A and B are shown apart, each in its own frame.
Chain A
Amino acid sequence: MLKGRHLTEPGDFTLEELDEVFDLADDIIEHEEDYLDAAHGKLLATLFYEPSTRTRFSFEAAMLRLGGQVIGFSDPKASSAAKGESLTDTVRTVSCYADAAVLRHPREGTAHLVAKTITDMPIINAGDGGHEHPTQTLTDLLTIRHELGSCDNKVVGVCGDLLFGRTIHSLVKTLNRYSGNKFVFISPKELCMPEHIKAHLAPDSYVETDSLDDVIGDLDILYMSRVQRERFVSEEEYIRLKDYYILDHNKMKHARPDMIVMHPLPRVNEIAVEVDKDPRAKYFDQAKYGMYVRMALLSKLMGVENNVKRSEA
């Protein structure tokens, strides 16, 4: 039963509960019109304490497509935070009005703090600094499920900034809960996968390399990531590493015909625009799956998934 629950990290849900969300997302994709009024009369609060376009639009689009409405702010200066109100007081007040809240904040652990305090409104973590971004993980899993049939027994290559990439950390930890997955960590040594993530994995379940060319032919999934400028103290170091991997037509020639390419977006240079037309490029589809999985998640947490008007066959 997911009604009323919080989602602060993917580990909050069992694999069965994740499947419940994905099954509903499948049904929404298949019968989107049936869900047009599922959240009629419900209100979602989007509390964005740092800038976001993709995630905020995705949540807002999800709620509006369910027939619900959205209130919120995308700049903390426009909230009572500017008057010195504590975060928990702000969310507690919002819980008097809204049926669910989406929270993005630059500080790590914010969603967990709020979720501990608020018991009568589901809180969804939409990113807390470099810590967790669980709905991106749900997006990634739904994409894999749809494109490759299941989240089990895959060879998953993650490439680029593995040191600071919260999306990748979260995805690897969650895919590791499914059975039979193997990981290939592809990064320059300066941006390699941290020990605390590898500690979750069996030693024989991953390999590390700095060569994408050497391993691309072995992969079911290639998950590319952006080297994030804001994480570097030295501009020189950033410039040296930012174009370390560029996925282009030539590299894709060595990949299997059924491999898929994923990316959480925004991309900078790590995937050449020429790859967009390759049928294996799934990163824009991924954004669409993100909206559907958020529709499913909101429906489950607000308990409206059965408010469906089945259309005539």
Chain B
Amino acid sequence: MLNVAKLKKGIVIDHINAGKGFDIYKELHLNDIDDAVVLMKGLPSKKLGKKDMIKIETDVELDMDVLGLIDPDVTINYVADGELISKVKLTLPKKVTGILECKNPRCISQYEHTGPITFYLVDPKTKTYRCEYCDSYTTFRSR
């Protein structure tokens, strides 16, 4: 297996479903981080068969809603002094703000400045959310 140095300080996003790693890299704008970021694809996994993993060698505030939307199965490990200090399991967010856009052409958000729109989870299986204004449904898909 490819060997990537053990992280001294930073964040490991683990148990990413295979193929979602690049979506997470893109959507969290990890390319904008000056410190080292490593995206590993297709790693063997007992739980998933294959998985992706991202190591970020710095403290950075991750947008958990975006992360939860793309892959609610990931685990986030926070590392300091080479030791795991905390582990966070994600779930699909019940509501998200400023991430989704309403596609309903009749929604007021298409005509007036509304600020970030909040969407409420309707169907976890399809990641379908409801617009706070017009109640129409939007399904999350990575760009």
* Residues on A facing B (Cβ under 8 Å): 86-88, 105-110, 112-113, 128-131, 196
Contacts and interface: CB of A to CB of B under 8 A. Distances in A.
B106 to A, nearest CB: 5
Contact of B135 (A86, A106, A113, A131): A131
Contacts of B111: 107
B112 A87 contact: yes
B135 A88 contact: no
B131 to A, nearest CB: 7
Shortest 9 CB-CB contacts between residues of A and residues of B: A109-B133, A108-B134, A109-B134, A107-B108, A109-B108, A110-B108, A108-B106, A129-B106, A112-B133
Interface in B96-143: 104, 106-114, 131-137
Nearest to A108: B134
A131 B106 CA distance: 10
A107 B136 CA distance: 13
Contacts of B132: 109, 112
A108 B133 contact: yes
Given A86-B112, A88-B112, A107-B111, A113 B106 contact: no
Given A108-B104, A113-B114, A129-B134, 15 more contacts: A87-B108, A88-B112, A105-B108, A107-B107, A107-B111, A107-B112, A108-B108, A108-B133, A109-B107, A110-B112, A110-B133, A113-B112, A128-B108, A129-B106, A130-B106
Contacts of A131: 134-135
Classify the secondary structure of B's interface with A. Answer: loop
Given A86-B112, A86-B113, A109 B131 contact: yes
A109 B105 CA distance: 12
Interface of B: 104, 106-114, 131-137
A106 B111 CA distance: 11
Contacts of B131: 109
A88 to B, nearest CB: 7
A48 B113 CA distance: 20
A131 B135 CA distance: 8
A291 to B, nearest CB: 28
A128 B133 CA distance: 10
Contacts of A129: 106, 134
20 contacts: A86-B112, A105-B108, A106-B106, A107-B110, A107-B112, A108-B106, A108-B107, A108-B108, A108-B133, A108-B134, A109-B107, A109-B132, A109-B135, A110-B133, A112-B108, A112-B132, A112-B133, A129-B134, A130-B106, A196-B137
B16 to A, nearest CB: 32
Contact of B133 (A106, A113, A130): A113
Contacts of A105: 108
A105 B111 CA distance: 12
Query: Which of A108, A110, A131 lies at the interface centre, i.e. has the most chain B CB atoms within 10 A of its CB?
Result: A108
B136 A108 contact: yes
A169 B131 CA distance: 17
Contacts of A87: 108, 112
